[in-house]
Copies of this chain bind each other. A is one copy, B any other.
């Protein structure tokens, strides 16, 4: 079992963007490419000397629909054989501590969806499940924010990409954990401190390895791309001013304010 390492991107007070390994005392700064043999520079930043940024800059987020048995059962749907997904554009991505903004001209419900995010480490296509394991760099927390009222506004066309693609609706972070053992982990979503989602990753229909394998047959995946594994029970909406936190042990807490 490889050691748990938490990779972070940071911004110093001078505006310098960098990356490194994160711990309770700070960041050990690295150089090169996070996904390809990064090298420690020897420099360290203490907590307070930097702000965490979105831990990667995906070219796309592939967001899964209905990938947990408990949610399938509640919706009365059969578990899917192939990943069912939509694409959230890179323009929607924000990191920990950034603000989720209400879309202009939209007064309806804005929902949180706490999820596990797979971070891809290499350009890949047509992977077998065993090859897929190697293409997974690590895991992060995702808040797959959704303008619920947009989704079903048009009875002829479900607006998945629009409802989930608004700027700030793809929250990622706080870090990317490598060497994480998922089997016993749970996803927690808290709103103003109250637990609203608490579900086991073991309940996932299509596993991360299988997701990466199958999605790599649907499209080329690039380093830093994120697969949001789908949410489970407990999705709800955010009131203006709410603080929403998605957390998974080993990754940490992704906190964002709304509105």
Instruction: State the A residues within 8 Å of B (CB).
Output: 59-60, 65-66, 77-78, 80, 84-92, 103-105, 125-126, 154, 156-162, 165-167, 217-222
Contact = CB atoms under 8 A, between A and B. Distances in A.
A167 B123 CA distance: 13
Contact of A89 (B59, B66, B217): B59
Contacts of A162: 84-85, 218
Contact of A60 (B89, B160, B220): B89
A161 B86 contact: yes
B91 A59 contact: yes
A220 B125 contact: no
B80 A154 contact: yes
A218 B92 CA distance: 10
A218 B218 CA distance: 26
A78 B162 CA distance: 19
Contacts of A160: 86, 160-161
A125 to B, nearest CB: 7
A250 B59 CA distance: 32
A219 B166 contact: yes
A65 B157 contact: yes
Nearest to A65: B157
Contact of A84 (B77, B85, B91, B159): B159
Contacts of A167: 125, 219-220
A103 B218 contact: yes
A87 B84 contact: no
B165 A219 contact: yes
A245 to B, nearest CB: 25
23 contacts: A59-B59, A59-B89, A59-B90, A60-B90, A66-B156, A77-B156, A84-B157, A84-B162, A85-B161, A86-B160, A91-B219, A92-B219, A105-B217, A125-B167, A158-B158, A160-B160, A161-B161, A162-B218, A165-B218, A165-B219, A166-B218, A167-B219, A167-B220
Given A87-B88, A87-B89, 4 more contacts: A77-B156, A92-B219, A161-B161, A165-B219
Contacts of A80: 154, 157
